[in-house]
Amino acid sequence: MFSLFEKTSAKCSKITTQIYSTSFSLGIKMLAKDFREPIYGIYGFVRLADEIVDTFDRTDKAELLAEFKSSTYQSIDRQISLNPILYSFQKVVNTYQIGNDLIEPFFESMAQDLNKTEYNPTQYTEYIYGSAEVVGLMCLRVFCNGNIEQYNHLKSFARALGSAFQKVNFLRDIKSDVEERGRVYFPYLDLSEFNELNKKVIIEDVKKDFAEAFKGIKQLPVSCRFGVYTAYIYYLKLLEKIERTNAHKIMESRIRVGDGEKLTLLAKSYVKYKLNAI
């Protein structure tokens, strides 16, 4: 009957992903069936940690994050947890040999969100690596399924994609990050003077990440290529919308890609994929 607990845990990670991110959820649905549960397991874990530092204001967030970190490592060592999200994550970690060298930087970045409000270039790079690039590398471990040579070859591209996603998130969420959390991730950026020039510099940097990431997407195994490409296209579209939006408007409202637009993008992307255009 343990299979019922496993099924429940997997469903918790899936539901968490679907509630928090329609973009990633649709991308995951485009993966080969065997990859979906592990990727839900990674995303559910990441989302839970992110929620601790972002929204759990009714308790001591530092203490809660420390407990979550301890429970994570304990679940990995024991290969069991009563927390269904952690059970799913440890299963992915142990099955695909995801090392602490990827998990620890993630927790370090999450801890930064507890107190740090401004970043210099080095800190910015380190934060993005721990909060996003390692997540891309965790997913790549799943996609490569034990093929270390393939994993090492694709690592830089996976990091570029994670970096692009995170920087787009920073732009999209700049209003809430500043007003609700007092955070400014972009180095040396005075938001009182956020203008078209500032925006252009940031966007050009993100475009470089996307261009590099696309080189790797084309080399991914067929079983996961379209799913990753789908998420890539959604975020690229979001960046395009941000680029077309006045800098002051970005500071006033959250830019998003509507569900209808996402379905249209999905259909167009699928046609490209079937025509071997990616």
Q: Which CATH number fits domain 2-274: 1.20.1260.10, 2.40.50.140, 1.10.600.10, 1.20.1260.60?
A: 1.10.600.10
Tokens 């007003």, residue located: 179
pTM for this predicted structure: 0.94
- 52 Cβ partners below 8 Å, 6+ apart? 61, 64, 65, 68, 110
CB 17, CB 139: distance < 8 Å = no
Give the pLDDT score at 18: 94
CB of 241 closer than 8 Å to CB of 171: no
Structure confidence at residue 220 (pLDDT) = 96
- pLDDT score recorded for residue 188: 77
pLDDT by position in tens, the chain (length 278): 799 999 999 999 999 999 999 888 989 999 999 999 999 999 999 999 999 999 998 889 999 999 999 999 999 999 999 999 999 999 999 999 999 999 999 999 999 999 988 899 999 999 999 999 999 999 999 999 999 999 999 999 999 999 999 999 999 998 888 788 888 899 877 777 788 998 999 999 999 999 999 999 999 999 999 999 999 999 999 999 999 999 889 888 888 888 888 888 888 888 887 767 67
**Long-range CB contact pairs, 259-265, < 8 A, 24+:** 259/22, 261/237, 262/22, 262/23, 262/26, 262/234, 265/230, 265/233, 265/234, 265/237
Q: What pLDDT score does 277 carry?
A: 65
- For residues 26 and 53, give the distance between their C-alpha atoms in angstroms, rounded to a whole number: 26
Strand partners, 118: 184
**pLDDT score recorded for residue 248:** 87
Quote the tokens at residue 139.
């997913």
What residue spans define the domains of the chain? 2-274
Q: Among candidates 108, 163, 175, 109, which has minimal Cα distance to 136?
A: 163
Helix (H, G, I), strand (E, B) or coil at 221: coil
Could you tell me which of 24, 79, 33, 69 has the C-alpha nearest to residue 49?
Answer: 69
210 touches 164 (CB < 8 A): yes
